[in-house]
Amino acid sequence: MIIFYLLVLAFVVGLIGSAACFRVVRQFERGVVFRFGRVRPVIRKPGLAVLVPIADRMHKVNMQIITMPVPAQDGITRDNVTVRVDAVVYFNVVDPVRAAVDVEDYVSAIGQVAQTSLRSIIGKSDLDDLLSNRERLNQGMALMIDSPALDWGVHIDRVEIKDVALPETMKRSMSRQAEAERERRARIITADGELQASEKLGQAAEVMSEHPAALQLRLLQTVVEVAAEKNSTLVLPFPVELLRFLERSTPPESAKATSADQAAPAPSPAPAAGNGSPASGTSPIREIAQSLRANGQISLDSLTTSSAVTAKPTALPVPETAGSAQPQWGGLPAGCADPAWQP
């Protein structure tokens, strides 16, 4: 009976020992075997790995790409702008033995190197490079991290700067700069358009000056365009050339008066009739007009003292035919006719 218990105990111990001798390595892992504390040069690949009981210990190393975010770092750029930049690092293990032996925790080591490299990149770059030329900065930061990582059996796959946080004052300044740049471009485009339009309008003016009918056709086209909108009021443009033509063809009133004064002869005193009236050849209206031309003005006193006004009308002969109608002169009554007046 005692022998049976001993056999059962030996079998159980053998099972436990055999279980410790067999280890499973997954596809994305590699096994580093330490025999009595010494690393074995042979790396155990994915599958079932057999170990020597009590003597061997196996350390599994992950060969996948690890994504590690770099905490945001405050720094001052080369052009003295305070920024806050964060990044992300992608890396994987290429030498499991060196990653397990040369460095205690390669993930933490890569994180510290990434932070210091990011601070160095911020200090060496301008703000414009951080905002627009990130590809070059990413490559430079990857080279800075990859130099010590190669000694640890780690390969830096890529590094990317995620975000650049700027102060509010800098954001406002950049927005004003962008607005001024857009306004400058808009003014240049507008001025270029005005220049091209002026050149085309000059060519059109030359054509219309050679062919006056083109201006009339353009006027009619404008009228058609305005009338197509169903407006109740139609505004017709008045050509300036017509105003200039009328101004050239019509002399001013002052020039008319001056020419009339120069052409009119000096008035001569009219011989008085026997009854004190002017000669029959000069009418009172013509006398007043001649005095106006000579003096340039007339007053109330001159009208009252004029001989044409104070003179008595000439008595007309009345026939002695009784009971007959008064004679007619020129279709007017005899008492109203004045043979000295002529229209």
Output the pLDDT for position 53: 79
In this predicted structure, what is the pLDDT of residue 10? 74
- Paired residues of 278 in beta bridges: 272
Q: What is the pLDDT of residues 251-290, one digit of tens each?
A: 665 545 555 555 545 454 444 444 444 444 445 555 555 6
Running DSSP on this structure, what letter comes out for residue 327? Answer: P
Predicted pLDDT at 94: 92
DSSP-based three-state secondary structure for 322? coil
Residue 162's contacts (CB-CB under 8 Å, 6 or more residues apart) are: 69, 86, 87, 88
Distance separating the N- and C-terminal Cα atoms of the chain: 177
Three-state secondary structure call for residue 168? helix
Write out the two tokens for 332.
């007017």
Q: Smallest Cα–Cα separation from 123: which of 72, 70, 68, 85?
A: 85
Is 86 within 8 Å of 132 (Cβ atoms)?
Answer: no
How many Å is the maximal CA-CA distance in the chain?
A: 202
* Whole-angstrom distance, CA of residue 297 vs CA of residue 306: 14
Positions in the chain whose pLDDT score sits under 70: 1, 11, 13-20, 231-232, 234-243, 245-246, 249-343
Which residues are within 8 A (CB) of 129 and not within 5 positions of it... i.e. 6 or more apart?
136, 137
What is the predicted pLDDT for the residue at 330?
43
* pLDDT value of residue 90: 95
Instruction: Return d(Cα 7, Cα 297) in angstroms, integer.
Output: 162
pLDDT in tens, 148-186: 898 899 999 999 998 888 888 888 888 898 899 999 999
- E strand residue ranges, the chain: 22-25, 29-35, 38-44, 47-50, 56-62, 66-76, 82-93, 154-165
pLDDT, residue 12, reads 72
Q: Are 91 and 156 in contact (CB under 8 A)?
A: yes
Q: What is the pLDDT of residue 212?
A: 77
pLDDT of amino acid 113:
93
Report the C-alpha gap between 166 and 171 in whole angstroms: 7
Q: Full-prediction pTM beyond 0.85?
A: no
